[in-house]
Amino acid sequence: MPLMLTIPLSVALLVAVTAMQPAAACEDAAPPLIHVVAEPTAVSVAADFSLSELDAMAQRSGIAHQPAPLGFYSSSVLHDVRLQPSQATTAACTDRLQIELDIRLSDRRIEIGREVQQQRCRYTAALAHYQRKAEADRLVFADYVTTVARVLHTTPLPQLADTTDAGSVAADQVRLEHWVEAVVAQHLQALHQARLAAFQAIDTTEEMRRLAEACTRGA
């Protein structure tokens, strides 16, 4: 059964960005708005690989696993930047832009070795273990979204054109999209490191012992 998880913050964070105000015809216009949508997907559970296949995958990854893994948890972080005219217009600037950043914690999957399904106690313990990783990943993702939203809120926008002709509006759109992409990329490495740290904090010696002894304890 899929495990439905939701993020512990507003699904939509609407933040007005402190902008370097354009001059001349647009000097009285409101700065563009940035709409950050954070959306983690549900976690699916599968048993598509045998334990020997999982062990071979772990060996190829270059990550030491002792004992051999009973499964894994995986996910992807994707994003999309969309720009559109803002509904808030002024007489001087009728085509100011609104930016929407959609960040998704996607492809969330728990895989457990096929043989493990034959032992209910072992399967239950393994599933709980990888569910803890999925929850840790969700929390790290929430922190990442909060950080990106805060940086977008506090970093000045690139200088925008002071006219509303089609060429200037198109150039503004390119500048703003590159700016958002740069902010997202700037924090991806920190997100990766935080996820690894969160997973390693779960893979303790005691946790590995608990998984190995699950059936002997009658779990």
Q: Say if residues 78 and 141 touch (Cβ distance below 8 Å).
A: no
Q: How far apart are CA 95 and CA 88, in angstroms?
A: 9
Contacting residues for 20 by C-beta, under 8 A, at least 6 apart: 156, 157, 158, 159, 160
Tokens 């809120």 belong to residue? 153
Q: Where are the alpha helices (DSSP H) in 80-187?
A: 120-154, 166-186
For 127, the token pair is 């599933």
pLDDT of residue 212: 84
Q: How far apart are CA 59 and CA 67, in angstroms?
A: 12
pLDDT tens digits along 161-208: 666 667 777 787 888 888 899 999 999 999 999 999 999 999 998 998
pLDDT of residue 211: 87
Which amino acid, 18? T
Contacting residues for 41 by C-beta, under 8 A, at least 6 apart: 104, 105, 106, 107, 108
**String of DSSP letters for 76-109:** EEEEEEEEEE-S---SS-S--EEEEEEEEEEEEE
Q: Say if residues 33 and 99 touch (Cβ distance below 8 Å).
A: yes
pLDDT < 70 positions in the chain: 1-32, 62-66, 85-97, 160-165, 217-219
Which one, of 138, 142, 75, 141, lies nearest residue 110 by Cα? 75
pLDDT of residue 100: 87
pLDDT of residue 164: 62
pLDDT of residue 7: 33
pLDDT of residue 14: 35
pLDDT of residue 11: 32
Calculate Rg over the CA atoms of the chain.
23
Distances (CA, A) of 3 to 34, 42, 124, 197: 31, 6, 14, 23
Q: How far apart are CA 153 and CA 146, in angstroms?
A: 10
Please measure the distance between the N-terminal and C-terminal CA atoms of the chain and give it in whole angstroms.
20
Which pTM does this prediction carry?
0.76
